Amino acid sequence: MVKKDLSIEFLGVKFPNPFCLSSSPVGNDYDMCAKAYDVGWGGVVFKTIGPKSYVINEVSPRFDTLTKEAEPFVGFKNMEQIAEHSLEENLADIRRLKKDYPNNVLIASIMGNDEETWEDLARKVTEAGADMIEMNLSCPQMTSHAMGSDVGTNPELCKRYCQAVKRGSKLPMMAKMTPNITDMVPVAKACLEGGADGIAAINTIKSICNIDLDKKIGMPIVNGKSSISGYSGKAVKPVALRFIQQLRNGIPNLQISGIGGVETWEDAAEFILVGSRTIQVTTGIMQYGYRIVEDLCNGLMHYMEEQKVNKLEELVGLANKNIIPAEELDRDYIVYPEIDKDKCVGCGRCYISCYDGAHQAMEWDEETRRPSCNHDKCVGCLLCGHVCPVGAISKGEIVFKKTAKPGRKIADIRL
């Protein structure tokens, strides 16, 4: 039985493990958050609390999913906005959670519609006992343009709202970024200038998941119409990792709470390696329940064991330096595919993909139903390896190109 210390400090607050509910339907009230703590979540970002004047009125239905073959959904579209309970109810729940779960972290997510309300909400959640504040500058489905992701693309506005929150509270505070922007760094910098201590990224991506082909309406259908709204789940992980990497490049040592499609410990480890200190999850929970934290924690412990690290902190950001601009990559060599003919089941998918999607280098023996690679044509793209259903194709022989710098040694190449 593996036992590793998963605790980590983020913005000066100690988390028993890095896994938190993100601000969303999964942390909507006391009972839900209490159950999540009981199952093992290290922290909770309570569903975003808005100003009293902003009345929540949700649509029905409000979700849609992107499926692929027989997979459970890979992407999830959500039209729900922020907490629908009254401000008083939410504050009471926060108070009670902190009393009953003093060792777990409770983060209050807030969203104002002007400086005054941001400041007021910050003050109120601090009084209620929250450990940290997350500013929701990024919800893409708000019914007001003074709130949500429209704010999150405006650095100046973000800075002013951060300042307002800091006036209302001395708690550590992170600003939650929208990915519906080309470059997140200027907004994150503005937030830090305004007083934010760290950044949470990413919120959901504006999306249309599916169109009903008979009715010609986006999904989900709300009385004959639909809207663009936030997309999440496994499918957005690559986008989230990219933004986090760019944030860490643009703002060295930035403290980040990573969000975006985490389902497994492997996903979580990737977020940590690009520089996240905590991990927030919603879609995985909506799909599979709070129980996924068991395998997130246990799997991450095993990974720490394999990596021979005792503190999770040691893994944070280890991949950042290995992700470099395309122009700096070594372009001197080709690595040819190596085909394990015993593993090969003779489906010919490598042959099809190489012919139709690459360089016609894979040759096909019709008699034996086995492929072989013609090195004269192969450019070493290794598409073949990606389509092989049995993992029979791996990286094989390395050869330097004619254009390579002289004197290079194969032994120096790290595959």
Among 31, 60, 69, 99, binds other proteins (CB under 8 A): 69
Binding mask 287-326 for other proteins (x = CB under 8 A): ----------------------------------------
Shortest Å, Cβ 160 to other proteins: 49
Closer Cβ to other proteins, 67 or 310, answer by number:
67
Closer Cβ to other proteins, 101 or 364, answer by number:
364
Shortest Å, Cβ 387 to other proteins: 9
Structure tokens at 348: 């010919």
Does the active-site annotation cover 139?
yes
Would you list the DSSP string of 73-118?
PSEEEE---S--S-HHHHHHHHHHHHHH-TTSEEEEEE--SSHHHH
User: CA-to-CA distance for 282 and 271, rounded, in angstroms?
Assistant: 15
Shortest Å, Cβ 351 to other proteins: 5
Site for other proteins in 70-99 (CB under 8 A): 70-71
CA distances, 270 to each of 70, 145, 282 (Å)? 26, 34, 17
Nearest CA-CA partner of 221 in 59, 89, 103, 93: 59
Nearest CA-CA partner of 265 in 232, 293, 305, 240: 293
Shortest Å, Cβ 63 to other proteins: 18
Closer Cβ to other proteins, 1 or 70, answer by number:
70
Site for other proteins in 164-193 (CB under 8 A): none
Closer Cβ to other proteins, 224 or 391, answer by number:
391
Question: Which position among 20, 33, 139, 209 bears the catalytic label?
Answer: 139
**Of all helices (H) and strands (E), which one includes residue 268?**
helix 265-273
Q: In sequence order, which ranges of 26-67 are alpha helices (DSSP H)? A: 30-39
Which amino acid is located at 377 in the chain? K
Shortest Å, Cβ 64 to other proteins: 16
Closer Cβ to other proteins, 69 or 327, answer by number:
69
Count of residues in contact with other proteins, rule CB under 8 A: 16
Site for other proteins in 379-408 (CB under 8 A): 389-390
Structure tokens at 19: 């896994």
Shortest Å, Cβ 288 to other proteins: 17
* Secondary structure class of 405 (helix, strand, coil): coil
Unique residue bearing structure tokens 């470099």: 324
Q: Does 214 bind other proteins (CB under 8 A)?
A: no
The separation between the first and the last C-alpha atoms of the chain, rounded to the nearest angstrom, is 33
Site for other proteins in 97-156 (CB under 8 A): none
Shortest Å, Cβ 71 to other proteins: 8
Would you list the DSSP string of 206-258?
EE---EETTTTEESS-BTTB---EEEESGGGHHHHHHHHHHHHHHSTT--EEE
User: CA-to-CA distance for 396 and 189, rounded, in angstroms?
Assistant: 44
Mode of pairing for the β-strands spanning 105-110 and 132-136: parallel
Closer Cβ to other proteins, 82 or 361, answer by number:
361
User: CA-to-CA distance for 63 and 77, rounded, in angstroms?
Assistant: 5
Site for other proteins in 320-379 (CB under 8 A): 344-349, 351-352, 364, 366, 369
Structure tokens at 401: 């190109």
Closer Cβ to other proteins, 86 or 374, answer by number:
374
Q: Where does this chain bind other proteins (CB under 8 A)? A: 69-71, 344-349, 351-352, 364, 366, 369, 389-390
**Active site (catalytic) residues:** 139
